[in-house]
Amino acid sequence: MDKMLQSPDGDITIMNDGATILEQMDVDNQIAKLMVELFRSQDYEIGDGTTGVVVMAGALLGQAEKLLERGTHPIRIAEGYEVASRIAFEHLERISHKFVFGSTDVEPLIQTCMTTLSSKIVNRCKRSLAVKAVVAVADLERKDVNLDLIKVEGKVGGKPEDTELIYGIVVDKDMSHPPMPKQIQDTNITILTCPFEPLKPKTNHKVDIDTVEKFQTLRGGLWKVICSWLSIAYSFLSCLT
């Protein structure tokens, strides 16, 4: 079920993600702040179930409050919860089922991902998105996949079905000039950390052009400089390859 939140500035957000709701709530109570930290840890470690852990923690706090009203010491309550936690964990270990997956069988991972997406707005295309997500993170030869190296880039327009998985680097930049080619295959790309433009002279100069011949001469000189730069760049790329 979607919920609507309105910020103090008047911004309205509609979502059904418990993590997003708690992230945007302005809380002052210390217990509420601990709940926010709890859901952040759940979201970072697991990526799902944030609403469930907050609801469960709230129920446990409610029962703890009743025990406090009866005069039970807080340490006794904490010890009881620790014992109950161990019992619950042992029970889950007994009733759990292990799914074996490998490089040729990733269907259990896809099904798990689809379960997570079932409650999201993209549930109508959860199969295709789950396959892309599993392929992006499931390097079965490694156990320390760095999720920071996987970036989700959102674009305005289109449909969730248009989502693509790109193997490589995505540089979100506009075209410098409309006639530039939109697609280039089997080419070398140079990534520069310095501006690729003529250096500005330290002194000001003025060029008076009153004929077409003078303009052509100036333009020819600029093209010679550009061609020399391209020649240097091509030689540099040839050395790398």
- pLDDT tens track, the chain, 241 positions: 666 777 777 777 766 666 667 777 777 788 888 888 888 888 777 777 778 888 888 899 999 999 999 999 999 999 999 999 999 999 999 998 887 777 777 888 888 888 888 877 778 888 888 888 888 887 655 666 777 778 888 888 888 888 888 888 787 778 877 888 888 888 777 777 877 776 776 777 777 888 888 888 888 888 888 888 788 777 766 655 5
Q: Is 15 exposed, middle or buried (0-12, 13-18, 19+ CB in 10 A)?
A: middle
- CATH level 2 (architecture), domain 3-95: Orthogonal Bundle (1.10)
Nearest 10 degrees: Cα torsion 85, 86, 87, 89: 80
How far is C-alpha 53 from the chain's CA centre?
23
Residue among 95, 72, 75 at smallest CA distance from 83: 75
Whole-angstrom distance, CA of residue 17 vs CA of residue 19: 5
Give the per-residue pLDDT at 16: 66
Give the per-residue pLDDT at 52: 84
Answer whether 22's CB lies under 8 Å from 50's CB: yes
Whole-angstrom distance, CA of residue 236 vs CA of residue 239: 5
Give the per-residue pLDDT at 237: 64
Biggest alpha carbon distance in the chain?
100
**pTM of the predicted model over 0.85:** no
**Helices marked H in 96-211 — which ranges?**
107-117, 126-137
